[in-house]
Structure 1
């Protein structure tokens, strides 16, 4: 079954989040995605607030930029969310926008190496393991979480290029595709992810999450777009509003209606 979600864009002020989250919860939306774009809003802080304001709605962060974050801190924050709100959180990581990373002095000469090291360490820490590693970018000395999640959570990864897609298949638990990804590239992404999974010997489930720019489309039209993404291999279709969307509460209600239509298939 295809999961339909929606995005709360951080171009909206943080104080607008509560009314959007409430509208999403009341409308029956499956999941609301939050972004940690520089230099707008924190993914962790907004996720914690959204989870506290709701009882059912799943909250996802798509994604935390790894150059900006020490992996131990990310693990502590993610583990805390999962202990407080078990089963309702999805957290993703990614390269981040390289220009933004350079602005804060966090640019990496090899973003792919950094992402792999971060994913490996983050997933190990969230499994409750003690981690010692001396990588090119990630260095930990006998680090273990005091309060790891009761169940190791999935960590998804944003990916675009072939190497990152293969890496995501090998080292992450799901992959996020940006909204500009055409249908043929959604299919190609699934193939590349599966290549990485096969090389790593992984047989666990790996959901593909596709953002879709839905604009002002009516629910029936948007549901058709979501079905196309699902046929191309997407397990989650996450509707992205325009940057100047005047009615974000109405947008999440529309997304919930799309979810009902797609769920009837």
Structure 2
């Protein structure tokens, strides 16, 4: 059965997180996803807070840009989250936006090589192994986590074919960015090649009388030719029908991505959980 989530956007101030997370939790939303976009909000700090403020909600971080983070630090943070909140954490890693990586002096010549080395080391650390590796980018000497988690899945954010194949072979799941059409979702599924692994898709969404106007502004901001196949808006039945298109294309979780100027983020969470979810 399709899982339904929503994004707490980094364009919303950090102090908005608590009421939005609590609204999502109380309404019965499956998953709340957070972003670590430069230079907005930390993914780990916000995830820890959201998990502490809620009781049942799964919290996802999609994604942590690996050029910014030493793999040992990421392993420590992910392990801590999983031990504090077992069964409620999903963390994704990825290349990061290359312009942002260049701004902080972290851009690498081969993002795919870095991601592969990083993913291998991260998963080994989370399994409790003692890791020594000297790759092109990742270097560890006999590093072992003192408090490894009992279980921790790592997702990879992927767009290009090489990263999608890497995600399918080595990661526990894949994150597909907003703007991924149903057709592109099917193509990504073929490249991932692992039908039993989850695929999370972000989907632009809006509700309310001005939903179309706000999404048109998003279309311009993201450079889409049209809203067809990249967004859903309208009443609950219309949004649910749209979500099913991505589910039929291979998404196991659809995460509705509101507009940054949504006038009622808490209301958006309740709409997704109470009105849309029962129709799926």
Say yes or no: does 1:247 pair with 2:269.
Answer: no
Corresponding residue number in structure 2 for 1:124 = 124
**Distance in 2, Cα, partners of 1:13 & 1:243:** 11
Which 10-residue stretch deviates more, 17-26 or 213-222? 213-222
Match of 1:226 among 243, 257, 268: 243
DSSP 3-state at the match of 1:10? coil
Normalising by the residue count of structure 2, what TM-score does the alignment of the two structures yield? 0.89
Corresponding residue number in structure 2 for 1:46 = 46
**Distance in 2, Cα, partners of 1:139 & 1:260:** 48
DSSP 3-state at the match of 2:150? coil
Match of 2:278 among 244, 260, 265: 260
Match of 1:211 among 194, 198, 202: 202
Which 10-residue stretch deviates more, 241-250 or 108-117? 241-250
RMSD: 1.0
Instruction: Give the drift of 1:130.
Output: 0.7
**Distance in 2, Cα, partners of 1:209 & 1:126:** 22
Instruction: Give the drift of 1:12.
Output: 0.4
Corresponding residue number in structure 2 for 1:29 = 29
Corresponding residue number in structure 1 for 2:188 = 189
Which 10-residue stretch deviates more, 13-22 or 252-261? 252-261
Q: Deviations over 1:174-213 (max 9, x none)?
A: 001111011111000000000xx5xxxxx8x310111100
**Distance in 2, Cα, partners of 1:144 & 1:246:** 46
Say yes or no: does 1:69 pair with 2:69.
Answer: yes
Instruction: Give the drift of 1:215.
Output: 2.1
DSSP 3-state at the match of 2:206? coil
Which 10-residue stretch deviates more, 86-95 or 241-250? 241-250
Unaligned segments of structure 2, at least 5 residues: 208-232
Normalising by the residue count of structure 1, what TM-score does the alignment of the two structures yield? 0.94
**Distance in 1, Cα, partners of 2:259 & 2:128:** 40
Instruction: Give the drift of 1:219.
Output: 1.4
Corresponding residue number in structure 1 for 2:160 = 161
DSSP 3-state at the match of 1:41? coil
Q: Deviations over 1:152-191 (max 9, x none)?
A: x110010011111111111111001111011111000000
DSSP 3-state at the match of 1:37? coil
Instruction: Give the drift of 1:129.
Output: 0.6
Say yes or no: does 1:235 pair with 2:255.
Answer: no
Corresponding residue number in structure 1 for 2:142 = 142
Say yes or no: does 1:8 pair with 2:8.
Answer: yes
Unaligned segments of structure 1, at least 5 residues: 198-202
**Distance in 2, Cα, partners of 1:89 & 1:112:** 25
DSSP 3-state at the match of 1:214? strand
Q: Deviations over 1:75-122 (max 9, x none)?
A: 000000000000000000011000000000000100000000111011
